[in-house]
Amino acid sequence: MSQNKLLKKLSELLGLDKKERKKRVMELHELLKALKLKEKKLIAKCARQLPGGKKKMLEREIAVIHAKRKKGLKAIKKLNKDE
């Protein structure tokens, strides 16, 4: 293969990587939106609950969802930084 063909093929492969990262970022954004909605619903539900075991369980679930959202945001920042 000539040098031009090799360079063209290489650029296509590198461009594909950018497309994959962009697709991955978009998927993460959608997931984070869904998690944020779920977190807000749980916070509202927790506010209506009386103190007790059920409320503590909801608070733990909210903490887990919040941690997952933070981890997702860090992943998006890393993917965007790599571009």
All structural domains of the chain with their residue ranges? 3-82
pTM to 2 decimal places = 0.73
Question: What pLDDT score was predicted for residue 43?
Answer: 93
Please give the Cα distance from 65 to 9 (Å, whole number): 42
Q: pLDDT under 50 in the chain at which residues?
A: none
Query: Cα 67 vs. chain centroid, distance in angstroms?
Result: 11
What per-residue confidence (pLDDT) applies to 62? Answer: 93
Sign of dihedral through CA atoms 45, 48, 53, 54? negative
**By the 8 A CB rule, do 55 and 46 touch?**
yes
User: Residue 70's pLDDT is what?
Assistant: 93
Looking at residue 38, its pLDDT comes to: 92
